[in-house]
Amino acid sequence: MKISLQWLKTYVDIKVPSGELARKITFAGLDVSSSCECCGDTVFEIEITSNRPDWLSHIGVAREISAITGRKLKPLPIDKLKPKTKNPAHFKIEIQDKSGCPRYTGRIIRNLKIAPSPGWMAKRLTRIGARTVNNGADITNYCLFETGQPMHAFDLDKLEGNKVIVRRAKKGESIVTIDGVKRELDDSILIIADAKKPVAIAGIMGGLDTEVTDKTKNILLESAYFDPVTIRRASRKLGLSTESNYRFERNVDIDNVVFSSQRAALLYKEVTGADTSAPCIDINYTKKKILKIDADWGRLKQLIGAPISKKEIKDILKALGFGLKENKGKFQITVPVFRRDMRIFEDVVEEVARIWGYERIQQVMPKLKAHIEPAKSALYQAKEQMRKMLTGQGLNEVITYTLLSSKNLDEAKAEKQNRVVIQNPLSAQQELMRNSMLVSLLKVINTNLNRKVKEIKIFELGKVYKHIGKNFTELEQLAVALVGTSYNNWKDRQRGVNFHDLKGIVESVFGQFGITSYKLKIDKNNPCFAPDECAVFISDAKEIAVLGKVNGQILKNFDITEENVYFAQLPVSLIATRMKTEYKYTPVPRYPSVIRDIALVVSKDISAQSALDIIQEIAAGLAVKIELFDLYTGNQIPRDSKSLAFSIEYQSRKSTLTEEEVNKVHSEILAALTTRLKAALR
């Protein structure tokens, strides 16, 4: 925004050079991006932040300069005729959309003498880049840049029915705005209308039919407060941006509505010789809210950390428009209505420090008695352990976006009922929060395969999001994916990765966290995986991992030509709760072990895990190691069968096992396998 130094001097006595002033206000937060000299005046280009609409005027900037320099702010002369709350008999103001326009003032001004604007007004407007038309139109523009309140003047004699209505536009209505463009309207756009037609787009631009011209004698001066969201949406829909809507969108001061109207009335009286005796009609549906903040001097000085005096604090706050009431060392701060960015005591502290000068606060190292390392949560520690272990096994960590499209999730056959939908997505590709990490890793795999990377071993520690009932849940997950060949070494031949490679990685995670009691269950119904290569790990009746070979159709959906893609997902939060922090010492066994092998012929439908579970159940306490060392299908056994060979190591910590004790347990295992699985000894 452009600000004229000569114009500012109307409100505050500025003694410092323009360059020094620019430096001071920049340090205080009003970023002066550039300045230029123009006809003996200096014009500053100031970057205004969105939380400070009160700076969008010369008065607002002058108030800041008054506080920074300690110079008194001069009051602005206004027409002090008090407003009325009732419509006069000859003219009516009607507000149909109270949410879109909670406050509207109208003032009838008669007998204007339209002429070019006086030189002082025209110079001030042109220096900041505003065009001049005539004194009737320029006064509202002048007040906008002076007080920050957008206003509009209607040619009163061109308004039909002696009334204005604030309402939503009707379908099919249109208006030719002051710029000569015909604009189609709809019911999302707030307008000002007379008894027959729209005469202005509220808060944005007036209509051509009712604009002030050289022939205008009487006007209706509008000063109102419009809902910022309504104005912003209308501006974007119409592709129309003005100085007025720029301010309304940033939430102008609703208490400034009447003051600015009084200021404009005085200028019309002085500049055009108009009759301003008619009262301002103020239709106000808002309740004034005054924010008061309790504080104390000592706490304020402590937070700033500088030797600032009580008088300096008082002077700064009063100069910025804050009210102060002191009582027994404590004080109450009344926040001005135009400072909507002030909410808590710390906000006020920041204001005092900003004006006093951050550069005046000395850099002092804090006095620390001891360095206390903050405790790391179990979840943080679990993720760090997983990260170190997996990178140590040769996997690469990836980080992906959590926002996905519904198409991606559908293509990966992810659950539909618990998805979290973004209400205002930036694009269709980011409309959902992911409820599975499969999509994320498949995209990484696709990218790497397209770049001729054939061996892909990756993992991600991230979150999935689910909408369960009325609650939204974030779940920390570990996802692992393997593609390509296994690790090459001097003794093993190269081969493709398989289910057991992935299973080994998952079990190494369990081992790292001391999880030893779990079962592997085959899952043929998971749509994300191949039916014959999918399993879940169960511990204490809870699923602690799902893993398998990714369904071929899903791979096609993501343009992945590699057939063997293996994926696993583990709930990190659940695993973290089972992490062991203390370990018991177990002495080396004193007594020898006995190893027995057992080969079984079972149906192909029976998993090795089923047999393993039975062996563990029967030999509990004696079997210290059970290993499947052979799986055979071929001519020597029936076609619908397979052979499973297990090696069982028996050992007791109390005594040396006798042959009779081992034979007894071994026979019980065989009997149980025969009975439950219809197994035959091979």
Q: pLDDT digits over 382-434, tens only? A: 899 999 999 999 999 999 999 989 888 888 888 888 888 888 888 888 888 99
Q: How far apart are CA 611 and CA 617, in angstroms?
A: 10
Average pLDDT over residues 16-27: 91
Question: What is residue 88's predicted lDDT score, i.e. its pLDDT?
Answer: 66
Give the contacts of 107 (CB within 8 A, at least 6 positions apart).
220, 221, 223, 261, 265, 276, 278, 279, 280, 281
Q: Which of 31-35, 223-227, 626-630 has the highest mean pLDDT?
A: 223-227
Nearest to 209 by CA among 182, 185, 231: 182
Q: How far apart are the first and last CA of the chain?
A: 91
Query: What are φ and ψ of residue 485, in 5° steps?
Result: -100, 160
Average pLDDT over residues 480-484: 94
Q: How far apart are CA 534 and CA 482, in angstroms?
A: 14
Query: What would the two tokens of residue 597 be?
Result: 């092998």
Residue 165 has pLDDT above 90, yes or no: yes
Distance of CA 99 to the CA centre of its chain: 26
Question: What is residue 470's predicted lDDT score, i.e. its pLDDT?
Answer: 83
Question: What is residue 492's predicted lDDT score, i.e. its pLDDT?
Answer: 64
Q: How far apart are CA 8 and CA 66, in angstroms?
A: 10
Same fold across 378-577 and 594-681: no
For the domain covering 92-284, report its CATH number: 3.50.40.10
Nearest to 27 by CA among 36, 37, 39, 16: 16
Nearest to 165 by CA among 97, 102, 119: 97
Superfamily, domain 378-577: Bira Bifunctional Protein; Domain 2 (3.30.930.10)
Q: How far apart are CA 210 and CA 158, in angstroms?
A: 6
Average pLDDT over residues 578-584: 70
On average, the pLDDT of the chain sits at 90
Contact call for residues 505 and 393 (beta carbons, < 8 A): yes
Residue 166 pairs in a beta bridge with 95, 192
Contact call for residues 462 and 400 (beta carbons, < 8 A): yes
Q: How far apart are CA 58 and CA 60, in angstroms?
A: 5
More confident residue, 242 or 81: 242
Q: Are strands 163-168 and 92-95 parallel, antiparallel or unpaired?
A: parallel
How many Cβ atoms sit within 10 Å of the Cβ of residue 240?
16
Assign 453 to helix, strand or coil: coil
Q: Which helix (H) or strand (E) holds 618?
A: helix 608-618
Residue 336 Cα distances to 66, 348, 496, angstroms: 16, 12, 72
Contact call for residues 14 and 64 (beta carbons, < 8 A): no
Output the pTM of the full model: 0.56
Residue 643 has pLDDT above 70, yes or no: yes
Nearest to 496 by CA among 454, 439, 528: 454
Residue 613 has pLDDT above 70, yes or no: yes
Q: How far apart are CA 575 and CA 513, in angstroms?
A: 8
Query: What are φ and ψ of residue 29, in 5° steps?
Result: 120, -20
Question: What is residue 519's predicted lDDT score, i.e. its pLDDT?
Answer: 85
Q: Which CATH architecture has domain 2-69?
A: 2-Layer Sandwich (3.30)
Question: What is residue 580's predicted lDDT score, i.e. its pLDDT?
Answer: 66
Contact call for residues 499 and 548 (beta carbons, < 8 A): yes
Question: What is residue 271's predicted lDDT score, i.e. its pLDDT?
Answer: 94
Cβ burial of 81 (10 Å; 0-12, 13-18, 19+) is middle
Beta strand ranges found along 41-91 (DSSP E): 41-47
Assign 82 to helix, strand or coil: coil
Question: What is residue 491's predicted lDDT score, i.e. its pLDDT?
Answer: 64
Question: What is residue 29's predicted lDDT score, i.e. its pLDDT?
Answer: 87
Residue 368 has pLDDT above 90, yes or no: no
Q: Which of 157-161, 471-475, 508-512 has the highest mean pLDDT?
A: 157-161
Give the contacts of 206 (CB within 8 A, at least 6 positions apart).
152, 154, 177, 178, 199, 200
Residue 174 has pLDDT above 70, yes or no: yes
Give the contacts of 173 (CB within 8 A, at least 6 positions apart).
184, 185, 191, 197, 198
Tokens 């006595």 locate to 13
Question: What is residue 151's predicted lDDT score, i.e. its pLDDT?
Answer: 96
Question: What is residue 38's predicted lDDT score, i.e. its pLDDT?
Answer: 83
Contact call for residues 209 and 199 (beta carbons, < 8 A): yes
H helical segments located in 32-71: 58-69
Q: Comparing 169-183, 244-258, 513-527, which segment has the lowest mean pLDDT?
A: 513-527
Residue 350 has pLDDT above 90, yes or no: yes
**In percent, how much of the chain has pLDDT > 70?**
96
Residue 84 has pLDDT above 70, yes or no: no
Average pLDDT over residues 52-63: 93
Contact call for residues 357 and 27 (beta carbons, < 8 A): yes
Query: What would the two tokens of residue 541 be?
Result: 């009746």
The contacts found for 444-449 with CB under 8 angstroms, 24 or more apart, are 444/398, 444/400, 444/481, 445/481, 445/483, 445/558, 445/560, 445/562, 445/565, 446/558, 446/559, 446/560, 449/483, 449/560, 449/561, 449/562
Q: pLDDT tens, 109-132? A: 999 999 999 999 999 999 999 999
Q: How far apart are CA 34 and CA 27, in angstroms?
A: 14
Domain boundaries defined on the chain: 2-69, 92-284, 292-331+340-359, 378-577, 594-681
pLDDT-derived band at 298 (thresholds 50, 70, 90) equals confident
Q: Are strands 420-421 and 432-433 parallel, antiparallel or unpaired?
A: antiparallel
Question: What is residue 485's predicted lDDT score, i.e. its pLDDT?
Answer: 84
Positive or negative CA dihedral for 377, 379, 380, 385?
positive
For the domain covering 594-681, report its CATH number: 3.30.70.380
Which fold does the domain 292-331+340-359 belong to in CATH? Answer: Phenylalanyl-tRNA Synthetase; Chain B, domain 1 (3.30.56)
Contact call for residues 631 and 607 (beta carbons, < 8 A): no
Q: How far apart are CA 454 and CA 242, in angstroms?
A: 57
Question: What is residue 477's predicted lDDT score, i.e. its pLDDT?
Answer: 93
pLDDT-derived band at 488 (thresholds 50, 70, 90) equals low
